[in-house]
A and B are shown apart, each in its own frame.
Chain A
C-alpha cells in the first residue's frame, strides 16, 4: 500500500528570493486550469486511503477561498489515517481559510515563517510581518488546528547569532509542536543566485547549526532529522514516509512519487502540465538504487536505519554490502552501529554528504 499523498500547489503571491521550487505568480485563470488538470491527475490515483496527505507549494494559501475549497473538495475523496497537513503563509491566510481547512479535516499546519526579524524577511523577499504570524496562529486556534509546525531559515550573511537566538526563542515561546530550520542554500536560478548572494561564512553557519541543535534540544524540541525538531511524538508523519523510503504518490506540477521500484518526476513546465503531459520521467530503480536511496534518506534521521528491516526489505546484509563505507566512517567516528540501527554520530550528520559519497563509491 502507498502510504502518503503529496499535492503541489505551484502558486505564490510573491516569489521568495531563495526559492527554487516550481511555482508561478498567482493568476486566477491559470489557477483554475491548473486545478482542472490536477483533478484529472488525481483521478488516475487508484488508491483512496492513505496514512498521510500533504498539500505543499508554492503557497497553497495563495489560492483564494473558493479555489482552496475546490482543491480540498477534490481531495476529500481520499481518507487519511493519521495526518493531513497544509502549508500556509501568514500573509495569505485568514479565518475563513482556517475554518475551511477545519471543515475538510486538515489537522496539521506548516507555517512558512522563515524568521521573526523583519529586516531579514525583507531581504528574503518575504512579504509577511510578525503581526501576520500572530494572526495566523490565532486563526488556527479558532479552527482547532493545534498541531503546527513552523519553518525557519538561517545562514544569511546579515544574520547574527543574536538574531538567530532571538528567532529560536520566539519560536519555542509559540504554541507549536514542530520546527523545521533550514540552512539557506543559494541555487543559481533563484533571485539570490542571480544576484551572486554570498552565504554567511562556513564557520559561522556551523556555529549556528550547533547552536540551533543545543537550543532546541534544551527547550524540549528534540532533533529527529537533519533540519527537523519536534515535541515528543510530533514528528512529521508524512515526511517520515520519505525518510523511511516508503511509497508515496505525488500529484501536481513538479511533484514526485515512488511506487515500489519506480520513481516518477512530474514536469516542471506549466504548459506541458496543463496539456496533460504530467510525467517528465519515470525511472525504474535497480536493486542497488533502492539500497542506496534507502541509506541516503534513512541516515538523515537521528534514529538512523533499522538494520534488520533494511536487510529484509532489500534482501541483503547491509553491514556486509556496504562494509567498506561503514567501517571507514565508523572508525572516523562519523557513523555508529548500535541497538540494531546504523546511524550518524552528531559529527557524522554534519558531513552526511561525504558519508553518502563513500556509500556510492564503494560497493
Chain B
C-alpha cells in the first residue's frame, strides 16, 4: 500500500472517558472484529488492567478502512499506557504515530491528566484531532467540552465529532476525520531501514516479539537486523501485522506498524525507543529520543511462607520475560528470610508486579517499603550504591549520603498554586519556577528528592488539586542530604525490613508517625509489645501495643460448632498472612507503614 493511504494514530483520553470503548467501536465498524467476537475492550490484554481501568501493556492493531472518498486506507491504532511511571513508553508509542485522537467526555470536560499526554503528543509533532464522547448521557454538555478543548488545550474543536462510543453514534465521522486530518507517513522507502521499537512481549515459541514502526526503508523475512543501542544482530524469522490477531506477511514497508520475530531470547535485549536497522545496510544514526530504562524504586519482595522462595523466583523470571524494566536479585532479611530485591520504574509498576505475582502465581507476599538508590560516600573515599536501607554502613564510616533528585513539572490550574507549593515544601522540595501557560494554567517546577515522591506524593497532589494536576518528572542526579538510617525495634529487636533512611530534620516526626502507625497495624498479642524508632542507637520515639487479655469465645454449644470453627479458621488465615518476627506476628501492611507521612 502506498504511504499516502496509511494512517498511524493513538487515542488519548482521561481514565473513564471512553478510550477503550472507542477503540472497540473502531474495530467493529472497520469490520476488523465481528461484534460477537468482541470481548469488551480488546486492547486491554490483561485482566488486571481492565480491573484498574488503566492500560499498561502497549499494543497495536491494523485495520482496513474504506473511506467516503472512495479509497481504501490502512489504519494502525497504537495503544498507550496512561500513568506517570510510563511516560517514556507513552512518548515512544506516540513517536510511532503521526496523529492522535483526543477523547473528551462531554459530561466531564477536559481533565488535567489528559493535558500531559496531549502535550506529549504535540511535543512529538502529532496532529491531535478531538472528539467529544458520551453525548448519549443526559448530563452531556458537548458545547462546554468544545469550549474547554479550544480554551484549555488550544485545539480547534469546530470539526470535533459528537459521538457515543458506547452506542457507536458518529464513530464513522471519527474515521473520516482520521483520513482527513492525520497526515500520512512520509518516510523514505528507499533509505536504509529505520524502525522504532515501541513495545515488545515474550512468546514462548518464537522468542521476543517486537512491535515496530517503520520510519524509513522496509524490512523482510530473512533480513539480518541490528539493534542499535546494544549492537545485537538477529535474523528475522517472521513478521506481520495484527488485526488484532497476528497476520504474517513477507515484508513491512515504510510507514507501517507491525511486529517482528527474530529468535530473540530476552525482552531485556529489546529496548523501547531503540532503532532497528539492517546489519548489511545500516542507517547512519538511530532515531532520536532513546533512553535507557532506569529502576527508580526498589523494594524487597518476600514470600510469607519461606518454603515458596523458589516459586517466587520462578514467577519473577517468568514476569521478566515480558517486562524489560523489571530487575531483581536475591537478598535475605533477618526478619523476613529469603526474598528478592526488585527494581521498578515507579510505584504503579511495583504494585502491578506485586499484584500479578500474587494473583497469577498464587503467592502470598510481603513487600518492604520502597526505597530509592542512595549514594553513600564513605570516609575512605569509596562510594556505595544502596537500594536497601538495612544495608546502610555504620554511621561512623559514612562521610555523607546523596540521594536522587527529580525535576518535577506539575501542570495545574493556577488556583491550586498555593496547595501545590505547600505540598512540595513539605516534601523537601526546592522551588524552581512557575510558568504561566495561559490565563488559567501554570507549570510549577520543583526539584524534589525522589524518595519523597515515590510513595504518596501523587495521591496527595491529586487530592489537593481535586485531580486537576498532572505530574511529569525526570531524574536530575544526586544531591548531598542530611540523611540517616532509622531503625525500628519491635519487642526490643531491630526489624531490618522496617529500616528506612530519613532526613535528620524530619527524623523525630517520622519516627513517631511510624511507631504510631505500627501500633495501629500490628494486632494486639498475648504480651505487651514495645515499638521504638532509633537513629544512631538513640531511641527517638516509642509506643507500646498493649497485650490483649482475652481471646476466647464466650459461648460454644452444640449449635455453634460449625460457625465457631469457621471463626477460628479465619483467625488462622489472618495469622498466615502475617510474618512472625521473633515472637511477634506482623501483618503485611506494617512493612509499608514506614512510608507513612501523615502529619496528623
A226 partner residues in chain B, CB cutoff 8 A: 552-554, 556
- Contacts of A241 on B, CB cut-off 8 Å? 558
Contacts of A227 in B (CB 8 A): 554-555
The answer to whether B559 and A361 touch across the interface, beta carbons within 8 angstroms, is no
Residue in A182, A203, A256, A360 whose CB lies within 8 Å of B558: A256
Q: Which of A183, A185, A209, A265 contacts B562 (CB 8 A)?
A: A265
A163 at the interface (CB under 8 A from B): no
Complex alpha-carbon distance, A361 and B569, angstroms: 9
Q: Mark B521-538, 1 if CB is under 8 A from A, else 0.
A: 000101000000000000
C-alpha gap A258/B557 in the complex (Å): 12
Across the interface, A6 reaches (CB within 8 A) one of B524, B550, B558, namely B558
Chain B residues numbered 548-600 whose CB sits less than 8 Å from any CB in chain A: 548-562, 564-565, 568-569, 571-572, 575-576
Q: Could you say which of A111-119, A123-131, A168-176, A346-354 contacts chain B?
A: A346-354
Residue of B nearest to A283 (CB): B562
A34 within 8 A of B: no
**A350-B549 CB under 8 A given contacts A357-B575, A361-B572:** yes
Q: Does B546 contact A (CB under 8 A)?
A: yes
Q: Are B559 and A350 in contact (CB under 8 A)?
A: no
A4, A6, A351: which contacts B551 (Cβ < 8 A)?
A351
Which residues of A sit under 8 angstroms from B548, Cβ to Cβ? Answer: 202, 351
User: Does A300 reach chain B (CB closer than 8 Å)?
Assistant: yes
Task: Mark contacts of A252-267 with chain B using CB atoms, 8 A cut-off: 1 yes-contact digit, 0 otherwise.
Answer: 0011111000010100
The answer to whether B558 touches A248, judged by C-beta atoms less than 8 angstroms apart, is yes
Given A182-B555, A254-B559, check contact A356 B568 (CB 8 Å): yes
Convert A183-219 into 0s and 1s, putting 1 for each residue whose CB lies closer than 8 angstroms to a CB of B.
Answer: 1110000000000000000110110010000000000
* B576 to chain A: closest residue by CB: A361
**What residue in chain B is nearest A20 (Cβ atoms)?**
B563
Name the residue among A203, A250, A296, A356 with the largest chain B CB count within 10 angstroms: A356
CB-based contact A352/B562 at 8 Å: no
**Chain A residues near B561 (CB-CB < 8 A):** 242, 256, 258, 263, 293, 296-297
- In the complex, what distance in Å separates the CA atom of A241 from the CA atom of B560? 13
Q: B558: nearest residue on chain A (CB-CB)? A: A242
The digit string for A325-363, where 1 denotes a CB below 8 A from any CB of B, is 000000010000000000000000111111011001100
Total interface residues in chain B, CB < 8 Å: 26
Cβ–Cβ contact B550 & A202, under 8 A = yes
Q: Shortest CB–CB separation between residue B306 and chain A, in angstroms?
A: 15
User: In the assembly, what is the distance between CA of A350 and CA of B550, in Å?
Assistant: 5
Is A239 engaged at the interface, CB distance under 8 Å to the other chain?
yes
Indicate if the CB atoms of A250 and B549 lie closer than 8 Å: no
Identity of the chain B residue whose Cβ is nearest the Cβ of A246 in the assembled complex: B558
CB of B568 within 8 A of CB of A250, answer no
CB distance A353 to B555 under 8 Å?
no
Point out the residues of chain B lying under 8 angstroms from A300, CB to CB. 556
Query: Are B565 and A352 in contact, CB atoms less than 8 angstroms apart?
Result: no
From B526, B550, B558, name the one whose CB has the most chain A CB atoms within 10 angstroms. Answer: B558
Cα A352 to Cα B561 in complex, Å, equals 15
Chain A residues whose C-beta falls within 8 Å of the C-beta of B571 in the assembled complex? 353-354, 357
Task: Check if A202 sits within 8 Å of B549, measured CB to CB.
Answer: yes
Give the chain B neighbours of A332 by CB distance below 8 A: 526
Residue-by-residue, is B22-65 near A (CB-CB < 8 Å gives 1, otherwise 0)?
A: 00000000000000000000000000000000000000000000
Contact A360 B554 (CB under 8 A): no
Kindly report which residue of chain B lies nearest to residue A334, judged by CB atoms. Answer: B526
Provided the pairs A350-B551, A351-B550, A352-B553 are in contact, do residues A250 and B569 lie with their beta carbons within 8 angstroms? no
Verify B554–A202 contact, CB threshold 8 A.
Answer: no
Against B, the Cβ 8 Å flags (1 = close, 0 = not) of A4-45 are 101010000000000000000000000000000000000000
Given that A296-B568, A360-B569 are known contacts, is A242 also in contact with B557, CB under 8 Å in the complex?
yes
Q: A6-B559, A293-B561, A361-B572 are in contact. Are A354 and B551 (CB under 8 A)?
A: yes
Chain B: minimal CB distance from A46 (Å) = 19
Task: Tell whether, in the assembled complex, residue B559 and residue A255 are in contact, meaning their CB atoms are under 8 Å apart.
Answer: yes
When distances are taken between beta carbons in the complex, the residues of chain A under 8 Å from B564 are: 296
Candidate in B524, B546, B548, B554 with the most chain A CB atoms within 10 angstroms:
B554
CB of B558 within 8 A of CB of A250, answer yes
Residue in chain B with minimal CB distance to A242: B558
Cα–Cα distance between A212 and B550 once the two chains are bound (Å): 14
Given known A353-B571, A354-B526, contact A203–B551 (CB-CB < 8 A)? no
- Contact residues in A for B550 (Cβ distance below 8 Å): 183, 202, 205-206, 209, 350-351
**Which chain A residues border B575 with CB–CB below 8 Å?**
357, 361
| Cβ of B102 to closest chain A Cβ, rounded Å | 47
Min C-beta distance of B587 to chain A, whole Å:
15
Q: Is the CB of B554 within 8 A of A182?
A: yes
- Chain A, range 286-333, C-beta contacts under 8 Å to B: 292-293, 296-297, 300, 332
**A-facing residues in B88-114 (Cβ within 8 Å):** none
Chain B residues within 8 Å of A357, by CB: 568, 571-572, 575
CB-defined contacts of B552 to chain A, threshold 8 Å: 226, 349-353
Of all chain B residues, the one with the shortest Cβ separation from A225 is B556
Residue of B557, B564, B575, B576 with highest tally of chain A CB at under 10 A: B557
Interface residues of A in 232-291 (CB under 8 A from B): 239, 241-242, 248, 250, 254-258, 263, 265, 281, 283
**A250 to B558 alpha-carbon distance, docked (Å):** 8
- B568 A360 Cβ-Cβ under 8 A: yes
Name the B residues within 8 Å of A360 (CB-CB): 568-569, 572
- What is the chain A residue whose CB lies nearest that of B525? A354
Contact for A202 among B546, B560, B565, CB less than 8 A? B546
Given the interface pairs A296-B568, A360-B568, A361-B572, the reply to whether A352 lies near B559 with Cβ below 8 Å is no
> Complex formed: what's the CA distance from A258 to B553 in Å?
20
Least CB distance from B173 to A in Å reads 53
**CB–CB B558/A352 < 8 A:** no
Cβ–Cβ contact B565 & A293, under 8 A: yes
User: With a CB–CB cut-off of 8 A, which chain B residues contact A209?
Assistant: 550
Residues of the B chain whose Cβ atoms lie less than 8 Å from the Cβ of A202: 524, 546, 548-550
- Docked Cα-Cα span, A326 to B550, in Å, equals 19
What are the residues of chain B within 8 A of A6 when measuring CB–CB? 558-559
Check A353 against B553 for contact (C-beta < 8 Å). Answer: yes
Contact check, A263 vs B562: say whether CB atoms are below 8 A apart. yes
Q: Within the complex, what minimum Cβ distance (angstroms) separates A20 from chain B?
A: 10
For A263, the chain B residues whose CB sits under 8 A away are 561-562
**Cβ contact within 8 Å between A185 and B568:** no
- B-chain residues with CB within 8 Å of residue A182 when the two chains form the complex: 554-555
Chain A residues within 8 Å of B560, by CB: 256
- Shortest C-beta distance, B522 to chain A (Å), equals 15
Interface centre among A205, A257, A300, A349, by most B CB within 10 Å? A300
Name B residues whose Cβ lies closer than 8 Å to a Cβ of A: 524, 526, 546, 548-562, 564-565, 568-569, 571-572, 575-576
Known: A6-B558, A293-B565, A352-B553. 6 other contacts (CB 8 A): A226-B552, A242-B557, A293-B561, A349-B552, A350-B550, A351-B526
Closest 10 pairs between A and B when the two form their complex, measured CB to CB:
A206-B549, A352-B552, A242-B558, A256-B559, A182-B554, A183-B554, A353-B551, A357-B572, A351-B551, A350-B550
12 A–B contacts from the bound complex (CB under 8 Å) = A182-B555, A183-B554, A184-B554, A202-B549, A202-B550, A250-B558, A263-B561, A300-B556, A352-B552, A353-B551, A354-B551, A360-B572
